[in-house]
Amino acid sequence: MPGVVVKSIAVINQKGGVGKTTTTVNLGAGLAHRGARVLLLDMDPQANMTLHLDRQPELETPTMTHLLVDTRPLEAVILPTAIDNLFMVPADTSLSGVEQVLANRIGRETILREAFEDYHGTPFDFVIVDCPPALGVLSANALVAVDQVIIPMQAEYFSLQGMTKLMEVMELVKRRLNPSLDLLMILPCMVNPRTNLSSEVLAELREHFGQALARTSVRSNVKLAEAPSFGVSIFEHAPDSNGAADYRAVTAEFLQRQGLEPAPAEEVPAAEPLAAETTPPQATTTQATTTEAADSEPADSAAPPAQDALDESAADGITESSPAETTTRVSGPAPADRTTAVESHENAGERHHAAEG
C-alpha cells in the first residue's frame, strides 16, 4: 500500500459521543496494520484521541495549538505512536482557546490546508482528522483541508436531527472553499441489532443517503470502551472481540471505497443485519411414541455475526453480542400420524374383545 496517492479524511459529527475518536484511532490502526503509513490529527480540545494513543502532552510538547496559532510546520509537531506506521499530532486543552485567538485572523479556515501543502517530510498514505463536537473554526479547518468526510453516528433519532445542519455546512465549504470535498460514508456506530429503533433509523438513512451509508455497522461492544484506558487500539487490546472484527470490516470497506481493494460481489453488509426485535423461539417438546422414544437432533446454534457500533463513545451502555437463536428438530411421526396409530390400536382391541365374546 505505501506509495499510493495521499488521501485526507475528516471524521466529523457535531454531536458528541457518537464514535468519532474510536473510529479515528481504530481505522488508523487498521490501515497501519495493513502496511499504510498513517497520520492522525487531534483537533478536539478534549484530547481524547491523544489519550487513546497513550499520550499526555506536557507544556513543552508541540501540539495542534502550536501548528494553528504559532504556525509551526506540520513535520515539527508529529509524534510516533506504539503502533508501527501510525503517527499523530496531539492536542491539549489549550486548543479550546484557538477559536478566540483566530477570530480576527484573515484566512483562519485555511491554516491546516496550508500546513498540508507546505509539508516536506516523509509522505503519508492517509491523514485522518478527529474533529471536535462543534462546527466552529477547528472543524472548518478540517473540512477545508481534507478530501473526504466520514460521519460516525448512533442509530438514534437525535443523531438524525443533527445531520441536516452538518450537510449544510459541508455543502457551504464545498461551494466556497474546498470544491474537492466529498462524503465518503456515514458509519453507524454503537448499533444494537436487537432493537427496532436501530432498524428504523438505518432504514431512514439508507433512504436519504443511499450508497453513502456504510455496509458495515459497528456494534456496541465493551472492549471498544475499555481500549482507551489501556492507551491502545482495539486490535492490541482485544483482537478477537466483536469490536476488532467490526473495525477490520470498516477498514476493508474504507479501502474498497478508495478503489484500493475490490468491492464485494454482492452488496452484503459486513455487520449483522439490523433485524427488528423478535421474541425468542418457543422450545419444542418431544413426545415419545408407544413403540420407541423419538430421537432428537442436537440444536443448531447460530454464531453471533462477525460484524457490529463509536464511540466508542458512543459506547456506553454496551453489550457484548447478540444472543444466539436455537432451532430444534424432532424426529418421529407427525402428530396426525400418531393419532391415527392410536385409533388403529384401539379399534384392534375392540375387535379382539368382540371375537372373544
The per-residue pLDDT string of the chain (357 residues; one tens digit each, 9 = 90 and over) reads 333 348 999 999 998 889 999 999 999 999 999 999 999 999 999 999 999 999 987 766 889 999 999 989 999 999 999 999 999 999 999 999 998 899 888 899 999 999 999 999 999 999 999 999 999 999 999 999 999 999 999 888 877 777 888 999 999 999 999 999 999 999 999 998 888 888 888 888 888 889 999 999 999 999 999 999 999 999 999 999 999 999 999 999 999 999 888 877 655 444 444 344 334 444 444 443 434 444 444 444 444 444 443 343 333 433 343 434 433 333 444 444 444 444 444 454 454 444 444
What is residue 197's three-state secondary structure? helix
What is residue 76's three-state secondary structure? helix
Specify whether the CB–CB gap between 91 and 57 falls below 8 A: yes
Rounded CA-CA distance 112/281 in Å is 56
pTM metric for this prediction:
0.72
Task: Identify how many contiguous H helices and E strands the chain contains and give both numbers.
Answer: 12, 9
Domains (ranges, CATH) in the chain? 7-257 (3.40.50.300), 286-304+328-357 (no CATH)
Specify whether the CB–CB gap between 49 and 128 falls below 8 A: no
Specify whether the CB–CB gap between 19 and 190 falls below 8 A: yes
